[in-house]
């Protein structure tokens, strides 16, 4: 007997996140070093210019450089904020992975019982016993013939022995020919009455009536021929 195991997989994201995080951090560290170096050069230039004096044109250039310096510091602050955000995202993903692993450990894999050669274990079958309508009843009647009662006597013994305790459904069927010479106005009514007749007879032979239900299908479930369609099926239901 083979056994199959189904278990939801844990997203394989940790390695990818760590690699991307390392690349991002390295990039930002390089940018910060370059920006800080440039800012230092700018400040040094300003000091030299202040010590040596400068013309009005030079003052305008210094003003532009000072503005650029302010913008560079703003970019540095923005990069630092992004680095902080990336670090927070990394911790959030790591926490999510830890939670998924914990859930996987607390929920063992589902084990499915399989039949031979990996096939699903078969469900209990529902045996069906057929009673030919032309043999069991006179035309348009619900009175069981002697031949039908003999068959039902044998069936009652099986239902009390081999299939003891299992519920039973008695199904009445007819062909599609409209009812003309019967007190039952429709095929549905006739099939229901015949199913009830078989149910009552089985109960009289010791089969518990609480186990038996009777249903008339009329011509809804035909067979290959009209004669085969006229029947009563006794279905033994699975537990």
What is the per-residue pLDDT across 75-128, written as a single tens digit (0 to 9) for each?
Answer: 788 778 777 877 777 777 677 777 766 655 555 444 444 344 444 444 557 889
- Say how far apart CA 42 and CA 197 lie, in whole Å: 108
Tokens read off for 208: 């518990």
- Say how far apart CA 32 and CA 76 lie, in whole Å: 6
**All residues at 6 or more sequence positions from 129 whose CB lies less than 8 Å from its CB, including other chains:** 155, 233, 234, 236
173 near 192, Cβ under 8 Å?
Answer: no
Q: What share of the chain is helix, strand, coil (3-state, %, to 5)?
A: 55, 15, 30
- Say how far apart CA 87 and CA 80 lie, in whole Å: 11
Region 17-38: mean pLDDT is: 62
Determine if the pTM surpasses 0.75: no
Model confidence at 38, pLDDT cuts 50, 70, 90, reads low
Closest CA to 193 of 223, 214, 177: 214
Quick one: pLDDT at residue 5? 41
Quick one: pLDDT at residue 224? 94
229 near 219, Cβ under 8 Å?
Answer: yes
Residues 219-228 have pLDDT tens digits of 999 999 999 9
The domains of the chain are located at 3-113, 128-236
Quick one: pLDDT at residue 62? 76
For residue 165, give the DSSP letter: T
Decide yes or no: CATH 2.40.50.140 for domain 128-236: no
Residues 120-147 have pLDDT tens digits of 444 557 889 999 989 999 988 999 999 9
Q: What angle (nearest 5°) sits at the alpha carbon of residue 177, between those of residues 182 and 129?
A: 85
Tokens read off for 173: 């069927």
Quick one: pLDDT at residue 84? 80
């Amino acid at each position: 007997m083979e056994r199959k195991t189904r278990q939801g997989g844990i997203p394989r994201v940790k390695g990818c996140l760590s690699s991307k995080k390392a690349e991002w951090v390295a990039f930002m560290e390089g940018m910060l070093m370059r920006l800080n170096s440039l800012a230092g050069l700018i400040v040094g230039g300003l000091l030299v210019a202040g010590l040596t004096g400068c013309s009005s044109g030079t003052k305008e250039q210094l003003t532009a450089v000072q503005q650029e310096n302010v913008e560079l510091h703003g970019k540095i602050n923005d990069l630092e904020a992004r680095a902080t955000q990336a670090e927070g995202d990394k911790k959030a993903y790591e926490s999510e992975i830890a939670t998924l692993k914990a859930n996987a450990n607390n929920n063992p894999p589902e084990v499915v019982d399989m039949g031979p050669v990996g096939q699903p274990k078969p469900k209990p079958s529902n045996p069906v016993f057929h009673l030919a309508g032309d043999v069991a009843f006179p035309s348009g009647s619900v009175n069981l013939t002697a031949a039908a009662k003999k068959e039902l006597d044998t069936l009652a013994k099986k239902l009390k022995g081999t299939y003891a305790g299992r519920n039973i459904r008695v199904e009445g069927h007819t062909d599609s020919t409209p009812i003309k010479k019967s007190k039952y106005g429709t095929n549905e009514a006739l099939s229901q009455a015949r199913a009830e007749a078989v149910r009552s007879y089985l109960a009289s032979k010791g089969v518990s009536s609480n186990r038996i239900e009777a249903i008339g299908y009329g011509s809804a479930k035909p067979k290959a021929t009209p004669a085969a369609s006229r029947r009563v099926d006794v279905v033994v239901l699975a537990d």
